[in-house]
């Protein structure tokens, strides 16, 4: 039996190894038609749709149908967008009234709707600016044209918004209203900005124009403009701490607690930064930041001023606390690191006033837990202060602070709190590139490490929190699609 199988296997191998003559090999191709472009790759569906759209746009009847369909989609999307803006008191009129103004603008021009409407120029400019944030391209283009017309009509906020967007166009979170703008439109905005700066003496316009000139490589004219802006603010009011709405947005904080609609720095910040980076004038820069900190109570000026003070000195601690208390994330993170230093280190670096402050904190032996720790955990005063500042920085979006809290919660076996802080560090930035890429990378490495440890210990807190975060992101996406 074995011999028969061996003979059969040998016969099969001989059969399959038989040589085929050259005629039999080529004969199979003779009775088949030759296909040209047989191996041409098919185009992707998106490419085919774009090409089909180009063909349709070349035919007048098809083009009209496409434009009508696109306008209908824009209008439906704009309806929900304007309703939400009115509910949040962003625009002064409801959706129907705003839509009627938009349609009237499309039929006529800006001067007509301004004369016929009871709205002020600033209100129409606000509606146009909101349209620039609409989800559809057609609505954004309408808003951009309206905002340009409002700027040409003399609206200050429209000009400042365009100029601020032009200045931030190289940044990751550049405003969309300057994308694909023609050079002639940009020149008209520049003319209006120069009018506001030189003729009207608007401090915001002076700062923006100075920054645009800095990008062109000029130093002297920006210095004059920044100093003139500081003098204009001081001349118009005796007390620089007294807010005056007629001066525009004087306090240019970028903290989560005080989001500024216009990314325009305060004049003392622009002046100090220019003197420090371009001229190396430490004395002049310190004077500018001191003016903004001590007279205008600007948290960003306080933060810059800490760089001129000896680290861990009384002035350094005072300025850092004031900046952090106003919502400056980096200042809060620096305070957390300071209070987490070992006592042997602070005894060498801190001055007498700061050492007294730290010894007073050390007298507290039962500081209540803060943030995600609740009130069940007790800690020393110095450690509790560090946790609180880390928590403030993490809530403001500082991912390094979130990682510090996650690590410390992990060491104290507070698994759920550690997982929540780690998720904060892993969240992607809503706009532009990541501000803390190293922190996100470290958080992802910690997730892999802790996931292995949790699987071995049969803990599920980390994975449960991550699943909740994924569900939250999916729900946000579904809400945006609706």
The reply to whether 139 and 190 lie within a common domain is yes
pTM of the predicted model over 0.95 = no
The whole-angstrom separation of Cα 288 and Cα 397 is 28
- Alpha helix segments (H runs only) across 132-155: 137-152
Residues 6 or more apart whose CB falls under 8 angstroms from that of 274 comprise: 210, 214, 219, 222, 223, 226
Residues 6 or more apart whose CB falls under 8 angstroms from that of 380 comprise: 361, 362, 364, 365, 367
For the chain, report the end-to-end CA distance as a whole number of angstroms.
Answer: 73
The reply to whether 90 and 123 lie within a common domain is yes
Residues 6 or more apart whose CB falls under 8 angstroms from that of 61 comprise: none
Q: Is 239 a residue whose pLDDT tops 50?
A: no
3-state helix, strand, coil in the chain (%, to 5): 70, 0, 30
Which residue spans within 342-417 are E strands per DSSP? 367-368, 378-379
The whole-angstrom separation of Cα 403 and Cα 303 is 22
Considering the domain boundaries, does residue 370 fall inside one?
yes
The reply to whether 328 and 318 lie within a common domain is yes
Domain count within the chain: 4
The reply to whether 479 and 383 lie within a common domain is no
The reply to whether 60 and 190 lie within a common domain is yes
pLDDT tens digits for range 275-296: 988 888 899 999 999 999 888 8
The reply to whether 131 and 183 lie within a common domain is yes
The whole-angstrom separation of Cα 281 and Cα 222 is 15
Residues 6 or more apart whose CB falls under 8 angstroms from that of 395 comprise: 256, 371
Q: 186, 210, 191: which is closest to 268 by C-alpha?
A: 210
Considering the domain boundaries, does residue 48 fall inside one?
no
Between residues 371 and 194, the one the model is more confident about: 194
Considering the domain boundaries, does residue 304 fall inside one?
no
Its domain, for residue 282, covers 201-241+263-297
Considering the domain boundaries, does residue 333 fall inside one?
yes
Considering the domain boundaries, does residue 7 fall inside one?
no
Q: Is 403 a residue whose pLDDT tops 90?
A: yes
Q: Is 172 a residue whose pLDDT tops 50?
A: no
Tokens of 156: 């200050």
The whole-angstrom separation of Cα 161 and Cα 264 is 9
Listed ranges 44-53, 325-334, 361-370; the one with the highest mean pLDDT: 325-334
The reply to whether 67 and 185 lie within a common domain is yes
Considering the domain boundaries, does residue 252 fall inside one?
no
The reply to whether 101 and 210 lie within a common domain is no
Q: Which bin fits 37, alpha (ψ -120 to 50), beta or left (φ > 0)?
A: left
């Amino acid at each position: 039996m074995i011999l028969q199988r061996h003979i059969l296997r040998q016969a099969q191998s001989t059969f399959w190894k038989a040589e085929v003559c050259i005629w039999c090999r080529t004969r199979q191709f003779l009775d088949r038609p030759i296909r040209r472009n047989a191996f041409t790759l098919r185009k992707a569906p998106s490419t085919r749709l774009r090409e089909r759209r180009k063909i349709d746009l070349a035919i007048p009847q098809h083009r009209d149908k496409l434009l009508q369909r696109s306008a209908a989609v824009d209008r439906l999307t704009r309806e929900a967008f304007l309703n939400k803006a009115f509910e949040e008191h962003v625009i002064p009129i409801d959706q129907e009234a705003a839509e009627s103004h938009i349609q009237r603008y499309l039929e006529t021009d800006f001067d007509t709707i301004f004369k016929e409407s009871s709205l002020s120029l600033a209100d129409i400019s606000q509606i146009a600016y909101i349209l620039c944030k609409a989800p559809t391209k057609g609505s954004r283009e309408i808003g951009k044209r309206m905002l340009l017309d409002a700027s040409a009509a003399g609206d200050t906020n429209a000009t400042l918004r365009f100029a601020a967007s032009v200045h931030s166009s190289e940044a990751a979170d550049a405003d969309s209203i300057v994308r694909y703008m023609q050079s002639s439109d940009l020149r008209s905005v520049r003319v209006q900005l120069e009018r506001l700066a030189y003729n009207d003496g608007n401090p915001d316009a002076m700062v923006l124009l100075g920054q645009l000139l800095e990008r062109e490589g000029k130093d002297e004219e920006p210095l004059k403009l920044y100093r003139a802006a500081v003098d204009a603010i001081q001349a118009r009011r005796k007390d620089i701490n007294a807010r005056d709405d007629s001066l525009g947005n004087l306090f240019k904080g970028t903290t989560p607690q005080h989001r500024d609609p216009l990314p325009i720095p305060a004049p003392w910040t622009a002046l100090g930064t220019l003197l420090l980076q371009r001229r190396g004038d430490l004395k002049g820069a310190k004077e500018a930041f001191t003016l903004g900190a001590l007279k205008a109570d600007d948290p960003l000026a306080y933060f810059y001023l800490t760089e001129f003070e000896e680290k861990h000195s009384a002035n350094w601690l005072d300025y850092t606390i004031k900046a952090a208390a106003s919502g400056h994330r980096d200042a809060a993170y620096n305070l957390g690191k300071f209070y987490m230093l070992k006592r042997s280190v602070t005894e060498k670096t801190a001055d007498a006033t700061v050492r007294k402050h730290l010894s007073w904190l050390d007298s507290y032996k039962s500081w209540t837990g803060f943030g995600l720790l609740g009130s069940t955990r007790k800690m020393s005063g110095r450690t509790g202060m560090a946790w609180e500042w880390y928590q403030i920085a993490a809530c403001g979006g500082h991912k390094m602070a979130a990682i510090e809290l996650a690590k410390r919660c992990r060491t104290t076996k507070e698994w759920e709190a550690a997982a929540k802080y780690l998720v904060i560090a892993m969240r992607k930035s809503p706009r532009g590139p990541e501000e803390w890429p190293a922190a996100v990378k470290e958080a992802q490495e910690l997730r892999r490490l802790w996931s292995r440890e949790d699987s071995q210990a049969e803990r599920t807190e980390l994975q449960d929190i991550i699943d909740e975060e994924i569900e939250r992101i999916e729900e946000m996406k579904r809400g945006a699609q609706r």
